Chain A
Amino acid sequence: MLAIQSERLVETVKRIYHNVAYYRDKMQQAGLTPFDIKGVEDLHKLPFTTKSDLRDNYPFGLFTVPMSEIVRLHASSGTTGKPTVVGYTRKDINMWAEVVTRSLCMAGVHKNDIVQIAYGYGLFTGGLGIHYGTENLGASVIPISGGNTQKQIQLMQDFNSSVLCCTPSYALYISDVLNEAGIDPETLNLRVGIFGAEPWSEAMRKEIERKLKLRAIDIYGLSEIVGPGVSCECEYQQGMHVHEDHFIPEIIDPITLKPVTDGEVGELVFSTITKEGIPLLRYRTRDLTRLIYDKCSCGRTLVRMEKCKGRSDDMLIIRGVNVFPSQIESVLLEMSETEPHYLLIVERENTLDTLSLMVEVQEQFFSDEIRKLQDLRKRITHKLESTLGLTVDVKLVEPKTIERTAGKAKRVIDKRNI
């Protein structure tokens, strides 16, 4: 494995050095050229790549091929208004399908399965990512995308879906709707669930398995690395196997940025070694976890990562969507000259996440007419919806309602117990 990784890493470093001025500058500033990287043992010398690097080079600055070679573009949330864009060559699309296929096989999915894909299809990598992997496997895809729960259930019954792919919170929501409709999950054909795109606990897993009568498998990915399929659990559900012949994982201390000792928890960093469109070296995911190098009970020796324990930044995942509090701040700042005081409250009501935003009505927002205040509220709601893709319940409150803190303002209260 080390030999394959080293060879691919060296090629990738050369590719990036010669095609991406931004990263080449970073390497030169660190006194490095491609000749200094001879294998995986030199990986730690390379500079990191972060989400803000993608934002600063929006949209295509980090691509190593011309647009004529790019056959697909995807995007995900950026820390402020701009999304982060990723591009795929044909080879990348095939590789992505391959890692997802591997993931599905590990999870126990086979070509005779009927796979209901309820991840969103579109710019989000979830839907199309699982789709191509499933087709590649030879199973039958139902590309239903998210939402319309009545229809999801109808198709599960009529088409005999055996595999369900969606966010874990949506899976729980579906189980609630089934329950209310008096449908016994035993009457459905579901056997495996492929759940990801947001953090979920062991307790949630047990609940989903109990309520939907399937094996709930954790899948991990992020669009910057490729999409879903970077790692996935096998049937033993003891950590997610990383496809390390394509993505080299490292764990670093998020403060010192140095690699941690084996088995310690830290921030997950990936280097893509086979991507052509937008290969990234030492990309900081901001997800906290640890790596397990022992051989798994399934027999695979691919390194495993544990369920993510949290983030090393302030990003939230709400209904599978990445939300940065700073995005909310930019929206509010667009509407006022001074920094608004706001508080974001995230709750989970009956398995679905809800977002409410309290905004203090300071002089710059105030109007003597009810109509204008209601308009203000509507405008904030609409702007947030178009920026985040989520509906936020906006509450106008009096000044000083929101607690002032001595240090950095506490902008988010997450009441969910995931």
Chain B
Amino acid sequence: MLIKQISVFLENKSGRLNEVSQVLGEAEINISAFSVADTSEFGILRLIVSDPDKALDVLHEHGFTVSQTDVVCLSCPNQAGALAKALKILSKNEISIEYLYALSMGDAASVILKPNDVERCIEVLKKNKLELIKASDLYKI
């Protein structure tokens, strides 16, 4: 249930995002999801890719500062109130969320979240019968 997310440090210069996607493209690594967290001086690019270990190596070789973080992917029905319900459960169990990003398509929405305690988050979600997406499935989306 643990998803390996790649984080890349980027300065606020033009062409940086471009370069990352080119490098991954050339290495035949597919990006399933991503988000950019930014400040005025720099940003952190977070990626879910088809082959996280290879991505780490390839980006590292090209001189990027990268790291890997464990995140969780929750699947909710694509309807109003579904996300609120899941977040309420997490908050009741005192799990705080550092960040999250999502995509909804068709009947379901995938929400990638980084909780403060990954193991407990998985436990709580499972106990409450919320659906978690497996790593192998997510990498292929």
A residues lining the B interface (CB < 8 Å): 361-363, 365-370, 373-374, 395-401
Contacts and interface: CB of A to CB of B under 8 A. Distances in A.
A363 B39 contact: no
Given A361-B9, A366-B9, A369-B98, A396 B63 contact: no
Given A362-B65, A363-B65, A368 B46 contact: yes
B41 A395 contact: yes
A369 B67 CA distance: 11
Contacts of B11: 396-398, 401
A368 B37 CA distance: 10
B63 A374 contact: no
A397 B67 CA distance: 16
Contacts of A363: 65-67
Contact of B10 (A362, A365, A369, A398): A398
B64 A399 contact: yes
Interface string B38-59: 1101101010000000000000
Contacts of B42: 361, 373, 396-397
Interface of B: 5, 7, 9-11, 16, 37-39, 41-42, 44, 46, 63-67, 69, 98-99, 114
A400 B63 contact: yes
**Interface core residue of B7, B39, B42, B64 (most chain A CB under 10 Å):** B42
Given A366-B9, A368-B7, A398-B11, A373 B63 contact: no
A267 B16 CA distance: 48
Nearest to A401: B11
Majority DSSP secondary structure for residues of A touching B: loop
B42 to A, nearest CB: 6
A374 B39 contact: yes
Contacts of A368: 5, 7, 44, 46, 67, 69, 114
30 contacts: A361-B9, A361-B42, A361-B65, A362-B65, A363-B65, A366-B9, A368-B5, A368-B7, A368-B67, A368-B69, A368-B114, A369-B98, A369-B99, A370-B37, A370-B38, A373-B39, A373-B42, A373-B44, A374-B39, A396-B9, A396-B11, A396-B41, A396-B42, A397-B42, A398-B9, A398-B10, A398-B63, A398-B65, A400-B63, A401-B11
B41 A370 contact: no
B119 to A, nearest CB: 17
Contacts of B39: 370, 373-374
B112 to A, nearest CB: 13
B65 A370 contact: no
Contact of B65 (A369, A395, A399): A399
